[in-house]
Amino acid sequence: MMHIIGLTGGVASGKSTTSGVLSQMGITVIDCDQIVHQVQVHNEQLKSCLMKIFPDAFDSGLLNRRKLSDLVMGDLTKLREIESLTLPFVHQAINQKLAYYKAQGEHLVVIDVPLLFETHMEGFCDSIICVFVPKTMQRERFMARPGMTEQKFKTILQNQMPIEEKMAKSTYRVISDNMENLIKQVQDIVLEIKKRGK
């Protein structure tokens, strides 16, 4: 049996760091953001749909994801429209990857999905880890990124499910306040899942 872990969390919560820890432990991680990028850039059917709705996001026929992001920032209707177009192709790609890893005999696979609950992808998962940090630390981490503003931070939080709700819906909760503590929590969770699988 292959156990599938969904990994999620709020913006600047330490999810990517947690994903890296899992990967360093030798666990296969499927990066959903990477899949979204691939299908939006390379899937001709999806590109055609996006080009009709967001022509200003394309440069000489190539999707500029930064422009697309700027066009929908703060507009929940447009954001949901992109998600509804993109998600079927993302689900297809994830199913293909999961089938491949199952055939390879993998026992544990992680799907790294920032908007796991918002895009209703929890159905893929046997258990879910939600990564979080105190609100003040979350804001500090976000603002330390290049080109980020207070308004962008507020807009992203408005577009995401409240972290308290994500935590309540998750099997495990990991606080990423420091690296040593984060690694210990992740190791304990993986050990518990492996023991349950025996």
| Band (61; pLDDT cuts 50, 70, 90) | confident
Q: Give the residue-averaged pLDDT of 4-27.
A: 96
Residue 65 has pLDDT above 60, yes or no: yes
Q: Give the residue-averaged pLDDT of 167-183.
A: 96
Does residue 198 belong to any structural domain of this protein?
A: no
**What is the per-residue pLDDT for 158?**
85
Residue 19 has pLDDT above 80, yes or no: yes
Alpha-carbon gap, residue 121 to 90, rounded angstroms: 10
Residue 167 has pLDDT above 90, yes or no: yes
**What is the per-residue pLDDT for 155?**
87
Q: How many domains does the chain have?
A: 1
**What is the per-residue pLDDT for 198?**
54
Residue 150's Cβ-side half-sphere holds a number of Cα atoms within 13 Å equal to 1
Alpha-carbon gap, residue 129 to 114, rounded angstroms: 11
Q: What is the pTM of this model?
A: 0.92
Which domain does 30 fall in, by range?
3-192
- In tens, the pLDDT along 89-100 reads 999 999 999 999
CATH number of the domain that 154 lies in? Answer: 3.40.50.300
- Determine which of 76-85, 96-105, 171-180 has the lowest per-residue pLDDT on average: 76-85
Average pLDDT of the chain to the nearest whole number: 93
Give me the sheet containing 28-31, strands edge to edge. Answer: 28-31, 108-112, 3-9, 127-132, 172-175
DSSP readout, the chain?
--EEEEEEE-TTSSHHHHHHHHHHTT-EEEEHHHHHHHHHHH-HHHHHHHHHH-GGGEETTEE-HHHHHHHHTT-HHHHHHHHHHHHHHHHHHHHHHHHHHHHTT-SEEEEE-TTTTTTT-GGG-SEEEEEE--HHHHHHHHHTSTT--HHHHHHHHHHS--HHHHHHH-SEEEE-SSHHHHHHHHHHHHHHHHHHH-
Does residue 197 belong to any structural domain of this protein?
A: no
Does residue 40 belong to any structural domain of this protein?
A: yes
Does residue 79 belong to any structural domain of this protein?
A: yes
**What is the per-residue pLDDT for 88?**
95
Residue 60 has pLDDT above 70, yes or no: yes
Pairing of strands 62-63, 58-59: antiparallel
CA angle 131, 162, 178 (to 5 degrees): 25
